[in-house]
Structure 1
Amino acid sequence: MRLKNKIAIVTGGGGDIGRTTALRFAEEGAQVMVSDISEEAGLETVNIIRETGGKSEFICTDMTNPKDVENMVQGTIDTFGRIDILYNNAGVNADEKKIPDVSLEEWQKVIDINLTGVFLGMKYAIPWMESGSSIVNTASIAGIKGQKLVSAYSASKSSVMALTKTAATEFGRKNIRVNAVAPGIIDTKMVDDWKKTDKWPILSTANVLRRIGKSKEVADAVLFLASDEASFITGETLVIDGGTLNL
């Protein structure tokens, strides 16, 4: 088992990618602290893990609240004794608007969740992490190529990749690895509204593989980066986009 006896935190663990990744971690032997702002969604993930024989607990966390994030980390230490893996996955999309039409409140909400939440996760978890630990942050191809009408989202995800490189540089000598994943269009609730538009036939095939991705395909990539199989990889962003950026 690739994560046998490892202790992992998954933020946004009640969502599609977060839940799938938490389940994959548990399948590979990890004990998982599921964190989410939705108690109902987070507990559902925990129950699925337990029903399949895994060990998991839930802690309700607002990733924009420093005290909440600190409590998430301390709760993991109190429950499991240490932290080996942190998957900073909690995130939010943005309404499609041109930059002049984006309110400061809308901008700040996306930045606070997608970027500051990742910062806070690392800020409080890293002091507890020992040699061999791994952090994976969720970015997006929107942070690589820029995506019109979602300026805050693109900016937040680009910054996550820069923050990932910075953290990898700062903690490499302690053998704490920090990487990111950058998904393309993945079949989650975040794209449900897109499916209702006339643009969907184009969006859903706008990559080399001519299909959208699956949550499991992202989860498997996160699992690889979190595991010892990626022991010589740090400061990198793994693109999971079916070749979108190659078009």
Structure 2
Amino acid sequence: MQKQGKPKPLRKPQAQPRPGHQASMKPVPDSMPRKFRQGKLAGKVALITGGDSGIGRAVAMLFAQEGARVAIAYLNEHADARETKRQVEVHTECLLIAGDLRKETHCKKVVAETVKRFDKIDILVNNAALHYEKQKLEEISSKQLINTFSSNIFPYFWVTQAALPHMRKGSSIVNTSSVTAYRGSDALIDYASTKGAIVSFTRSLSSNLVKRGIRVNGVAPGPIWTPLIASSFKPKKIAKFGSDVPMERAGQPAEIAPSYLFLACEDSAYMTGQFLHPNGGEIVNG
């Protein structure tokens, strides 16, 4: 039986006549199936921003089911956060940290409280975001613009900066972008711009951290049914939300969470700087 081990760089030149023979290759390619099992995050600690509801809640619940202890940072949605905590604690420990991630001091506090409780951070999910629909660029005030960037991208920098000293080789960072980063949005211009910044942040950080053994990837969801949608759009638009994608429906948070699990665990060991696109079939070429 072929023994699995840590993959090594190929440094010795070698050639074979076509079509080639695997048994003669040095090293022999590792073709043994990985052991996909429950408990993929056993012993891990995950910090999730915006984990009180929507995609963040689904990710927290799935991570907990797979063995991770979970810290959740959220703004002020206390009832939602308590329900998420209740669901997570069916499986493992959960820490709730309320406050405004637009403030760098709070971002540092979130990390400090997580480490105080759990001693480390193995998985960081940057997920919190907001948006406001405006039909014209001229309608986006400076106040809204600053608020959107302060909420959607600045905390990704600040939380990650604070978390990195507590992350070891083998840790994983997963950032939430959006399909709007790839195809734009005529009514969410500032939001789509922050999501594009998250794509660039993810790719740049992945290159920066690769030698430290920390992988950085992202998820770019399409239309997902979350409180952000219910609180952002007019009733007529909400009634048709998601109907314009090939699957003709909005996705559910539970359908998105497995993408985060894949990127957080060793199943994606050969991936960094990449994005997954659970978006109902829209082709974005990104």
- Distance of aligned partners of 1:140 and 1:246 in 2 relative to their CA distance in 1, 3 Å threshold: closer
- Distance of aligned partners of 1:67 and 1:246 in 2 relative to their CA distance in 1, 3 Å threshold: closer
In 1: Cα distance, 2:49 partner to 2:110 partner: 9
- On the 8 A contact 2:50/2:56 being kept in 1, the answer is yes
2:177 is the counterpart of 1:125: no
Larger radius of gyration: 2
Matched residue SS, 2:280: coil
Partner of 1:210: 248
1:86-140 Cα shifts (integer Å, max 9, x gaps): 0001110222231111100001111111111111121111121100000001100
In 1: Cα distance, 2:174 partner to 2:93 partner: 21
Match of 1:48 among 48, 72, 87: 87
In 2: Cα distance, 1:153 partner to 1:198 partner: 18
**Once the 2 structures are TM-superposed, how far is the Cα of residue 17 of structure 1 from its aligned partner?**
0.9
**Once the 2 structures are TM-superposed, how far is the Cα of residue 221 of structure 1 from its aligned partner?**
0.6
- Distance of aligned partners of 1:45 and 1:198 in 2 relative to their CA distance in 1, 3 Å threshold: closer
2:102 is the counterpart of 1:64: yes
Q: How many matched pairs? A: 245
In 2: Cα distance, 1:74 partner to 1:172 partner: 24
- On the 8 A contact 1:206/1:244 being kept in 2, the answer is no
The aligned runs of 1:95-114 (5 Å cut-off) are 95-114=133-152
The one-letter code of the counterpart of 2:281 is G
In 1: Cα distance, 2:43 partner to 2:86 partner: 19
- On the 8 A contact 1:194/1:200 being kept in 2, the answer is no
The one-letter code of the counterpart of 1:172 is V
2:219 is the counterpart of 1:181: yes
**Once the 2 structures are TM-superposed, how far is the Cα of residue 150 of structure 1 from its aligned partner?**
1.2
In 2: Cα distance, 1:159 partner to 1:169 partner: 16
Runs (5+) with no aligned partner, structure 1: none
- On the 8 A contact 2:229/2:238 being kept in 1, the answer is no
- Distance of aligned partners of 1:55 and 1:123 in 2 relative to their CA distance in 1, 3 Å threshold: same
- Distance of aligned partners of 1:169 and 1:231 in 2 relative to their CA distance in 1, 3 Å threshold: same
TM-score (structure 1 length as normaliser): 0.94
2:181 is the counterpart of 1:143: yes
- Distance of aligned partners of 1:34 and 1:198 in 2 relative to their CA distance in 1, 3 Å threshold: closer
Matched residue SS, 1:197: helix
In 1: Cα distance, 2:199 partner to 2:58 partner: 22
- Distance of aligned partners of 1:45 and 1:94 in 2 relative to their CA distance in 1, 3 Å threshold: same
The structure with the greater share of residues assigned to helix is 1
**Deviating runs (4+, > 3 A) in structure 1?**
198-201
In 1: Cα distance, 2:224 partner to 2:73 partner: 21
- On the 8 A contact 1:36/1:60 being kept in 2, the answer is yes
Percent identity (aligned): 30
Match of 1:228 among 253, 266, 270: 266
1:44-93 Cα shifts (integer Å, max 9, x gaps): 3112212x132111111321111111111111111101000000011102
In 2: Cα distance, 1:79 partner to 1:246 partner: 40
The one-letter code of the counterpart of 1:162 is S
2:111 is the counterpart of 1:78: no
- On the 8 A contact 2:223/2:251 being kept in 1, the answer is yes
In 1: Cα distance, 2:72 partner to 2:238 partner: 35
**Once the 2 structures are TM-superposed, how far is the Cα of residue 198 of structure 1 from its aligned partner?**
5.7
Superposed CA RMSD in Å reads: 1.7
**Once the 2 structures are TM-superposed, how far is the Cα of residue 191 of structure 1 from its aligned partner?**
2.3
2:110 is the counterpart of 1:91: no
